Amino acid sequence: MSATPHLDALTSRGRAFLGTRHAIMAGAMSWVSERHLVSAISNAGGFGVIACGAMTPALLEAEIAATQALTAKPFGVNLITMHPQLMELIGVCRAAGVSHVVLAGGIPPGPAVAAITGFARLIAFAPNLALAKKLLRSGTDALVIEGSEAGGHIGPVSLSVLVQEILPALPDATIFAAGGIGRGEAIAGLVEMGASGVQIGTRFAASAESIAHPAFKKAFIRGAARDAVASVQFDPKLPVIPVRALKNAGSEAFMQKQREVSGQLARGEIELPAAQLEIEHYWAGALRRAVIDGDIETGSLMAGQSVGMVTAEEPVQAILDALVEQAEAALAKRRAPEPEAA
């Protein structure tokens, strides 16, 4: 691996925050971001993140221990704010000595923020500048600004707009950019704009170390940017976060699930928080069918629009090396002296 002085200089804050060789966080992908992929990314110089998803505290405890057995490098744990056992999961992270916790899926509750910042560095998602400022005031240590190009649960605004809105306004904050990043040239541009580093998920989902089913990986390798589409909300009374995934029969099945849950809500058979949690459980099950069972027809193939840049099943180290080499080459080229005129 060649030296990357230009990239290192621009990502020094992000690298110091994560404790890693490169300021490249892995996006937490349910069923995919488990011990093997997480440890491989951390061992390769990036920052792996366990996706807790719907895990019980006991399952998370086992996953953290198994990851620690595979790497001595830093890694994080992603927790979903709407998990009914959130505070217990935070307790598991504390007991296991987890250094970084990522809170996703909504505005982090005050008690959770206080609990996490007592033992670990807290990273949260900021969909706009106002919330970014609020999160930093509340004690959040770093932010991820994720554009709608990303896979899985997404916000409504593209990364190209978010970085213009947020990075210049918060020059002293530790901010990782995410969404649609598939090559190092994009990393170069983002860190030049002021990002401390980046978060990447889709490029790693079909890596050699990913436990995803071969059929799931093949779908990624075949997929193009236009194939990764966002889900549509069926009922405004049942607000659900859109999910970007490769279009298949499961996309229509999600509309049917929304109709079903919306009807239960309208009839008073279920409260809104429980209805939204049922939608999340649906996604967890659909994603498992695709990732673990290889059901690429009715399962959920969550993928970002960078999926078109996934062209082969490659080792994590090769993916990471290519990204940083591309970024360094782009930065060095822009800093090379202009040739003297004849």
| DSSP string of 87-129, one letter each residue | HHHHHHHHHHT-SEEEEESSSPPHHHHHHHHTTSEEEEE-SSH
Tell me which residue range forms the domain holding 154: 5-211+310-332
214 phi and psi angles, rounded to 5 deg: -55, -35
Residue 197 counted as domain residue:
yes
Same domain, 53 and 186: yes
Q: What's the token pair of residue 287?
A: 């994603």
Residue 338 counted as domain residue:
no
pLDDT for residue 342? 58
Residue 132 counted as domain residue:
yes
Same domain, 38 and 145: yes
Same domain, 168 and 40: yes
What's 127's domain CATH number?
3.20.20.70
pLDDT in tens, 181-214: 999 999 999 999 999 999 999 999 999 999 999 9
- How many domains are there within the chain? 2
Contacts of 90 (CB under 8 A, 6+ apart): 79, 101, 112, 115, 116
Query: Using alpha carbons only, what angle is made at residue 317 by residues 142 and 208, rounded to the nearest 5 degrees?
Result: 105
Residue 164 counted as domain residue:
yes
pLDDT in tens, 142-187: 999 999 999 999 999 999 999 999 999 999 999 999 999 999 999 9
**Residue 256 burial (10 A CB sphere; 0-12, 13-18, 19+):** exposed
Same domain, 30 and 154: yes
Predicted TM-score (pTM) of the model is 0.95
Same domain, 112 and 57: yes
Residue 40 counted as domain residue:
yes
Residue 261 counted as domain residue:
yes
Quickly list DSSP for 120-178.
Answer: SEEEEE-SSHHHHHHHHHTT--EEEEE-TTSSEE--SS-HHHHHHHHTTT-TTS-EEEE
**Residue 99 burial (10 A CB sphere; 0-12, 13-18, 19+):** middle
Which DSSP category does 2 fall into? -
Same domain, 154 and 274: no
Same domain, 286 and 242: yes
- Taking every pair of Cα atoms in the chain, the longest distance, rounded to a whole number of angstroms, is 80
pLDDT in tens, 29-44: 999 999 999 999 999 9
Contacts of 130 (CB under 8 A, 6+ apart): none
Same domain, 169 and 223: no
pLDDT for residue 336? 84
Same domain, 165 and 258: no
Same domain, 201 and 321: yes
Identity of residue 220: F
Residue 341 counted as domain residue:
no
Q: What's the token pair of residue 172?
A: 């002293």
> What integer is the mean pLDDT of 225-234?
94
Same domain, 130 and 279: no
Same domain, 176 and 251: no
pLDDT for residue 341? 64
Residue 252 counted as domain residue:
yes
